[in-house]
Chains A and B, each alone.
Chain A
Amino acid sequence: MMNLRRLGSIVLKELRQLRRDRLTFAMIVGIPTMQLILFGYAINLDVRGLEAAVLDQANTARSRELVAEIGATQVLDLRYRLSTPQEVDNLLRAGKISAALMLPNDFETRLERGDRPALQIVVDGSDQVVQASARQLASFPLPGRAANDVPGIEVLNLYNPQRLAPVNTVPGLIGVILTMTMVLFTAMALVRERERGNLEMLIATPVSPWELTLGKVLPFVGIGLVQVTVVLLLGKLLFAVPLRGSLAALYSAALVFICASLALGVFISTLARSQFQAMQMAFFTFLPQILLSGFMFPFAGMPKVAQWLAEILPLTHFLRLVRGIMLRGAGLAELWPALASLALFTVVMLGIAVTRVSKRLD
């Protein structure tokens, strides 16, 4: 049951209160402890199992042997055998693979003459750690290759050829900033009404749980989009971070992610008994998102359990979206699984939250 006027009145009230709120975020003692545990668990720069494809255009005994040997290092998980460079491109852009081994037709000749690299590893440069790991492979020994100054393996860094750090961090930072602010703001929302005694007055009126929940969340959707704009502009002006995909796709992804974060915040708000508790819980969800989403450490390097956990976190999916759109020029159609995951997360969280917004005190 939804009454637009009532919903609007709650939105307006929230905006008015927000304008006067001098909320300062206190630092919490428990955070360093948790950080230490999570860091210890997730830090693993020795990346294994990067999802990769093979494009073996030579297809000779030696080329197949070399592919098998590189596969045996387990740095690359060679799960796709492709036949055209176009396919490699598509998989990379959609984020399905992080690297590709490309063996040209004249692989045998190149190997014997040693004047040009015998094979190429194409790397998704939108992930810093992936770049670094792929570079280890550049020193892989090529048996039977003539001694020469030209390296046997050429690493081709797609999307971020100069390996500029801001190009990698700024897109992820949009997600981190949104996570932090959106979850924290809404986590406070309902619990503040309860703590200040406003809720008892409010639930004695005809307001419905949906009106109350959505009314509290909607103002922040606008605030979130403003934040996205600020980070994008600064990234562009200060670090020349490119936007290779469409702006509309980026804002759509951000919108869905903002909704997911707000839903998580409202859910926390229905659990917490005080504003302080809400803040603690918000930080509790905030740390795994930063550490496990792939923002700090490569997703592929994490243990399976951590990866499963990360699949639940909205930031993981948003990073896939934002890196795909901004750095690889991907469109939403290619990245739909991440978008769908975020939408599902939003619906489930908001649904649970609304059923928990009881109009009773007991």
Chain B
Amino acid sequence: MNSAETVIRARGLTKRFGDFTAVDSLDLDVRRAEVFGFLGPNGSGKSTTIRMLCGLLSPSAGEIEVLGCRIPQDAEALKRRIGYMTQKFSLYDDLSVGENLDFLAAVHGLPRREARQRIDELLALYRLDDRRRQLAGTLSGGQKQRLALAGAVLHKPDLLFLDEPTSAVDPQSRRDFWDSLFELADAGTTLLVSTHYMDEAERCTRLGILDEGRLAADGSPEELLAQLPGTSLLVECEQPRQAQRALQGGEGILALAQIGASLRVLVEEGQSAEDIRTRLHEAGIDAEVGETAPNLEDVFVTATRRQPADREET
């Protein structure tokens, strides 16, 4: 197996619920041992795409091949080789930590001796060994999430799907959790993680930005930053709110965001810091405007920017 082996391949993947198109002609390639991040706002089709790739939802159109299995035809064969960590905690609240893992080990058909070893190993790895007899429902958010991860990797899957795994935990737990994910990737597991946190997206080896069911951009974070068509500017002035109002909807302005006392402005190619300063001056605001390093938020905003026709509606 070489490192460029394609683990997930989807072409024209589409899912419609009635009149609503949740996923629209998605093309996707994920290679072995990648940590592929799905970045997108709520309702952009992240969960629906993951469910189709796991074989839990049948696509309305398009082709999927995951780990060499054609989906949905070979979905049952695939289910032995993937792990899936759902968005909502989906282990049993009324079973203890140990009982939950025992159950999953049996469901995955792990031999008893191997199961016992593997569970001990995972409980130690995810710092749950002192919680073995505690009911899962009484664990903290971070502990639940580590238990869910242990459950999802119990049978050593080749491919792990994680649907917004960190939405219910504190920042420290999120960082720890991502360290665990990288350990899995180092061991050769391919990961597909959906998130709406930019700091998490930055840590992925590759990113797909989803917007209204379409793949708006994909590539490594560095590639995406390098390809960013606009320029990021930082405006520092006394009244950032007024400055924002003055620039809002103006020619060539892609995005505005107030960060503390300053204003972050993403402008189209061709617009310079000087242009912005002039514009603000005309509005009666004195400001320092300088270029700043682009970040993924800028990439995200650019990728999901509405076309002018759409902008009229909003």
* A positions within 8 Å CB-CB of B: 3, 5-6, 8-10, 12-13, 16-17, 20-21, 196-198, 200-207, 359-362
B253 on the A face (CB < 8 A):
no
CA distance A20 to B95 in the complex (A): 8
- Which residues of the other chain, B, contact A361 by a CB distance below 8 angstroms? 51, 56-57
CA distance A21 to B135 in the complex (A): 13
Nearest A residue to B15, CB-CB: A362
Q: Say which one of B80-88, B178-186, B197-205, B296-304 lies at the interface with A.
A: B80-88
Interface pair B58/A362, CB less than 8 Å apart: yes
B94 on the A face (CB < 8 A):
yes
Interface pair B79/A200, CB less than 8 Å apart: no
Interface pair B108/A197, CB less than 8 Å apart: no
Residue from the list B58, B94, B109 in contact with A3, Cβ < 8 A: B109
Beyond A200-B86, A359-B75, is A6–B57 a contact (Cβ under 8 Å)?
no
List 9 contacting pairs A-B, 8 Å CB cutoff, sorted by A. A6-B109, A8-B106, A9-B106, A16-B99, A17-B92, A197-B90, A204-B56, A204-B79, A206-B109
> Of residues A3, A8, A196, which shows the largest number of chain B Cβ atoms within 10 Å of its Cβ?
A196
Interface pair B95/A16, CB less than 8 Å apart: yes
B276 on the A face (CB < 8 A):
no
Residue from the list B80, B95, B107 in contact with A17, Cβ < 8 A: B95
- Which residues of the other chain, B, contact A10 by a CB distance below 8 angstroms? 103, 107
B76 on the A face (CB < 8 A):
yes
CA distance A203 to B102 in the complex (A): 17
In addition to A20-B94, A200-B90, 6 A-B residue pairs with Cβ atoms within 8 Å of each other are A197-B88, A205-B79, A206-B107, A359-B75, A359-B76, A361-B51
The 10 tightest CB contacts between A and B, nearest first, are: A9-B106, A201-B90, A204-B84, A197-B88, A197-B90, A20-B94, A13-B103, A205-B107, A361-B56, A17-B94
- Which residues of the other chain, B, contact A3 by a CB distance below 8 angstroms? 109
Beyond A20-B94, A198-B90, A201-B90, is A5–B99 a contact (Cβ under 8 Å)?
no
- Which residues of the other chain, B, contact A13 by a CB distance below 8 angstroms? 92, 95, 99, 103
Interface pair A206/B80, CB less than 8 Å apart: yes
* B positions within 8 Å CB-CB of A: 51, 54-58, 72, 75-76, 79-80, 82, 84, 86, 88-95, 99, 102-104, 106-109, 135, 151
CA distance A12 to B107 in the complex (A): 12
CA distance A201 to B72 in the complex (A): 17
Residue from the list B51, B55, B86, B151 in contact with A197, Cβ < 8 A: B86
In angstroms, how far is the closest chain A Cβ from the Cβ of B160?
11
Interface pair B76/A206, CB less than 8 Å apart: yes
- Which residues of the other chain, A, contact B99 by a CB distance below 8 angstroms? 13, 16
In angstroms, how far is the closest chain A Cβ from the Cβ of B224?
30
- Which residues of the other chain, B, contact A8 by a CB distance below 8 angstroms? 106
> Of residues A13, A201, A203, which shows the largest number of chain B Cβ atoms within 10 Å of its Cβ?
A201
CA distance A159 to B162 in the complex (A): 67
In angstroms, how far is the closest chain B Cβ from the Cβ of A9?
3
- Which residues of the other chain, A, contact B91 by a CB distance below 8 angstroms? 198, 201
- Which residues of the other chain, A, contact B82 by a CB distance below 8 angstroms? 204
Interface pair B79/A360, CB less than 8 Å apart: no
Beyond A17-B92, A206-B80, A359-B76, is A200–B56 a contact (Cβ under 8 Å)?
yes
Interface pair A360/B57, CB less than 8 Å apart: yes
- Which residues of the other chain, A, contact B54 by a CB distance below 8 angstroms? 204
CA distance A95 to B86 in the complex (A): 56
In angstroms, how far is the closest chain A Cβ from the Cβ of B76?
7
Residue from the list A9, A21, A359 in contact with B107, Cβ < 8 A: A9
- Which residues of the other chain, B, contact A20 by a CB distance below 8 angstroms? 94, 135
- Which residues of the other chain, B, contact A21 by a CB distance below 8 angstroms? 94
In angstroms, how far is the closest chain B Cβ from the Cβ of A108?
76
Interface pair B56/A12, CB less than 8 Å apart: no
CA distance A16 to B100 in the complex (A): 10
CA distance A361 to B22 in the complex (A): 15
In angstroms, how far is the closest chain A Cβ from the Cβ of B86?
5
CA distance A359 to B76 in the complex (A): 9
> Of residues B82, B84, B151, which shows the largest number of chain A Cβ atoms within 10 Å of its Cβ?
B84
- Which residues of the other chain, B, contact A196 by a CB distance below 8 angstroms? 90, 92-93
CA distance A25 to B109 in the complex (A): 36
CA distance A283 to B299 in the complex (A): 56
In angstroms, how far is the closest chain A Cβ from the Cβ of B29?
22
CA distance A123 to B82 in the complex (A): 67
Interface pair A207/B57, CB less than 8 Å apart: no
CA distance A6 to B88 in the complex (A): 24
CA distance A196 to B84 in the complex (A): 16
CA distance A361 to B87 in the complex (A): 15
CA distance A138 to B56 in the complex (A): 69
Beyond A9-B103, A198-B90, A201-B84, is A206–B79 a contact (Cβ under 8 Å)?
yes
Residue from the list A5, A17, A197 in contact with B109, Cβ < 8 A: A5
- Which residues of the other chain, A, contact B106 by a CB distance below 8 angstroms? 5-6, 8-9
In angstroms, how far is the closest chain B Cβ from the Cβ of A359?
7
Beyond A21-B94, A196-B93, is A362–B57 a contact (Cβ under 8 Å)?
yes
Nearest A residue to B135, CB-CB: A20
- Which residues of the other chain, B, contact A9 by a CB distance below 8 angstroms? 102-103, 106-107
In angstroms, how far is the closest chain A Cβ from the Cβ of B147?
12
- Which residues of the other chain, A, contact B86 by a CB distance below 8 angstroms? 197, 200-201
Interface pair B92/A360, CB less than 8 Å apart: no
- Which residues of the other chain, B, contact A204 by a CB distance below 8 angstroms? 54-56, 79, 82, 84
Nearest A residue to B102, CB-CB: A9
CA distance A360 to B57 in the complex (A): 6
In angstroms, how far is the closest chain B Cβ from the Cβ of A343?
30
Residue from the list A5, A198, A206, A360 in contact with B56, Cβ < 8 A: A360
Interface pair B107/A6, CB less than 8 Å apart: yes
Interface pair A207/B107, CB less than 8 Å apart: yes
Nearest B residue to A200, CB-CB: B86
